[in-house]
Structure 1
């Protein structure tokens, strides 16, 4: 299982930054983040990944050249990163395709009044190197557990740096059924769950798309994680 970077520490760093760097918008976003939900932590979902890299320096001008996709996301709505654990929809009833249009998969259909819309932007998102066999690790800050988790990967030939993601671009590669919180592993201020994945013969840049159906209510989480399959493993 891959090492899990502590989301709790990310929130602490973010809170300190907000306290000193001002931005009324960020301050108003913190209470929802503190209420706690979860995210894909490895490979990291886009909002979580941007928070990990830039929470202490999110106003740095060099982000524009070093990490342009995170830059446009921070500029569009900083609360998307502070609320990295709130990318969900309620009442979907399992009909994910009907709830989320093509081109809006990474924002969960512009959920939360469009807060995460910038995550749908096409471009050079930083990609996590992975081998053919890897694990998707979900961090559950609220200890919801899962009715199921489904992991998809884009088809070979899809170019996430140039193409908008649609349901037809994805292939289901792994899934697990009901997994109550008691079966998850303890993590820093929460729980973690690891889902084994075989990427097959895929190479190069891809998007790993994870749907986590929480157990406490009809609450569905959606995560776009950017990866680069550089070597078989």
Structure 2
């Protein structure tokens, strides 16, 4: 995922798409952290995609040949129930689902399988050994589109994402969130992440629905700054 951020920041790509959360296994924390580490990157869009996971093997492989399964940790987690029926299989985390398919194609051993999409299997000329192995068919992943700050202007945004650290005093988080509630701004997401180098201190990621003009959010943002020691708008976009 860092390569995607690097490509957008360097100009090798105009846009990137990264997952932020899954309806079954929760948040992809690495990408929340990367949003914080790349201050010149903004969120400019959002897309929710239905995820179908498949067990993929070589063309001449059968399910009985499998003894090792590769996938991104999220892919493994989202197929936990299926994998529990095969306790002898070795589960190996990989950097992403499509990459795990490329890996087993390169290695060329029938005992290796990967969990990924049908498209990944087709690209590498491999076979689906078992389709639809995700634990729950209501499996959706929320992706965000990222761009460089100078290309981040979105007409008529209806969602804003921001991150902040509160002041070190009682009720600081309540005061920050109450700033939004008092203006009837609907908070649709709240996520906390540790601050590197500051044990037991946290950044808070918040998504807010903009029901009216984004200009109405400016007043809330100004007050929010008085309750935080660090505040950054990650993006204003449409969903």
TM-score over 0.5 (shorter chain):
no
Query: 1 or 2, which has the higher strand percentage?
Result: 2
Report the TM-score, using the length of structure 2 for normalisation: 0.24
Report the TM-score, using the length of structure 1 for normalisation: 0.24
Instruction: Compare CA radii of gyration and give the structure with the larger one.
Output: 2
